[in-house]
Amino acid sequence: MDIVVSGMRPTGRLHIGHYFGAIRNWVKLQEQYDCYFFVADWHALTTHFEDTSHIKENSREMVLDWLASGINIDKAVIFIQSLNPYHSELFLLLSMITPISWLERCPTYKEIKQEMSKDGKDLSNYGFLGYPVLMTSDIILYDAKYVPVGIDQLPHIELSRELVRRFNFYFGEDLFFEPEAYITESPKIPGIDGRKMSKSYNNAIWLHDDLKDVEKKILTMMTDTNRKRRVDPGDPEKCPVFDYHKIFSIEEEKRFIIEGCTGAKIGCIDCKRILLSHLIDFLSSFQEKRVLITDSYRDKDLYEILENAQNKALNKAKSKMKKIREALKF
């Protein structure tokens, strides 16, 4: 079976953007591939090395959200990056053959560094420059064929392909595969203010949100700005509420809304109520599962929950590392 690897930095609890942008795809992939999904906690350090106090708690909450979303611990191998030191060994070896210029010209490196420096944050640390090298080792240590990621991560996958070619050139033609990004159509899911959904913008719908709060958020959510009064016609294609309808509502409802909105026959509140009924169903069913998961793992820390999977990942990495050491004649 082809192998799929993906990781997520432990930012804590997830919002519906994470769910529809990534996790829902993982749930599908675990049925068709040999999947490895891991907590990229070392990657969290590349930008937030000064405060590590939340990483452990965030990792646990994130993985419990994965499980409540349908990631199945018996189908996919779920593990913690920092408990698998082979990632760091391969990272070290890869860094020997990585030209610094390749890393410096990586668009995400330049953009994030610039972006963060506006907030007074200096990202001139070596680890941040090496972010895609660590990511490459996460991927090729498992011979991954596909890597489900967002488009923002494409430059990193491209770099990992270049590193694979370079490594194979020096140390043996077919030691590693070139991984491929696995981009699935993921729906646009803006925050309630119409901007990108993000914790820092305070505009997210969280999977754990209180349902009363969700109602408030949706009822005050931004709409097509041209539709100020009920008599003004609107354009659903310019409305973030309609982006949600595309995910949650059935064809008939969407047709009703398009007609009602463009013809000023329904109000935005009517439109939002239709959405709310679906969103509340979705969230309450997630939350029910989350309660069961939380209860069943009440007394366990994340390592105890993942111990089996962690060992599977470790064994696979170990046998690959043996081959790598041989190729280097160590």
The residues of the shown chain that bind ligand SF4, judged by CB under 6 A, are 223-224, 227, 234, 236, 239, 241-242, 257, 261, 266, 268, 271-272
| Interface with ligand TRP (CB under 6 A), residue from 44, 45, 64, 147 | 147
3-state secondary structure 92-134: HHHHHHCCHHHHHCCHHHHHHHHHHHHCCCCCCCHHHHCHHHH
Q: Give the C-alpha separation, 222 to 58, whole Å.
A: 30
Pick the closer one to ligand SF4 by CB: 80 or 261. Answer: 261
CB of 269 to ligand SF4, least distance (A): 8
Cite the DSSP H helix spans in the chain: 16-18, 24-32, 41-48, 55-68, 86-97, 100-104, 107-118, 126-129, 131-140, 154-171, 211-219, 240-248, 251-262, 268-296, 302-327
Taking the complex as a whole, the smallest distance from the CB of residue 17 to ligand TRP amounts, in Å, to: 12
Note whether 291 and 62 are within 8 A (CB).
Answer: no
Residue type, 281: D
- Interface of this chain with ligand TRP, residues 34 to 53, rule: CB under 6 A: 40, 43
Is there binding between residue 133 and ligand TRP (CB under 6 A)? no
Nearer Cβ to ligand SF4 (22/271): 271
Task: In whole angstroms, give the CA distance from residue 14 to residue 148.
Answer: 17
For the bound state, the minimum distance from the C-beta of residue 209 to ligand SF4, rounded and expressed in Å, comes to 19
129 touches, from ligand SF4, ligand TRP, none (C-beta below 5 to 8 Å by class): none
Q: 60, 66 in Cβ contact below 8 A?
A: no
Q: Which does 67 bind (CB under 5 to 8 A by kind): ligand SF4, ligand TRP, none?
A: none
Q: Does 149 bind ligand TRP (CB under 6 A)?
A: yes
| Residue from 5, 16, 214, 241 in contact with ligand TRP (CB under 6 A) | 5
- Compute how many residues bind ligand TRP; rule: CB under 6 A: 13
* Partner whose footprint covers residue 223, from ligand TRP, ligand SF4, none (CB < 5 to 8 Å by kind): ligand SF4
**For ligand SF4, the closer CB: 57 or 237:** 237
Of residues 153-172, those binding ligand TRP (CB under 6 A): 153
- Integer Cα distance of 246 and 171 in angstroms: 49
- DSSP code for 197: -
Residue from 138, 176, 207, 239 in contact with ligand TRP (CB under 6 A): 138
Is residue 209 involved in binding ligand TRP (CB under 6 A)?
Answer: no
DSSP string, 123-185: ---HHHHTHHHHHHHHHHTTT-SEEE--GGGHHHHHHHHHHHHHHHHHH-TTSSPPPEEE---
Look at the alpha carbons of 204, 195, 154, 127 in this order and tell me if their dihedral is positive or negative. Answer: negative
69 binds, among ligand TRP, ligand SF4, none (CB under 5 to 8 A by kind): none
* Distance in Å, CB of 194 to ligand SF4, minimum: 11
**Any idea of the CA torsion for 41, 45, 46, 51, to the nearest 10 degrees?**
150
Nearer to ligand TRP by Cβ, of 42 and 242: the residue is 42
Residue 88 C-beta-side C-alpha neighbours within 13 Å: 11
What are the structure tokens assigned to 55, written together?
A: 């990483």
In the bound complex, what is the minimum distance in angstroms from residue 19's beta carbon to ligand TRP?
A: 15
| Interface positions with ligand TRP (CB under 6 A) | 5-9, 40, 43, 135, 138-139, 147, 149, 153
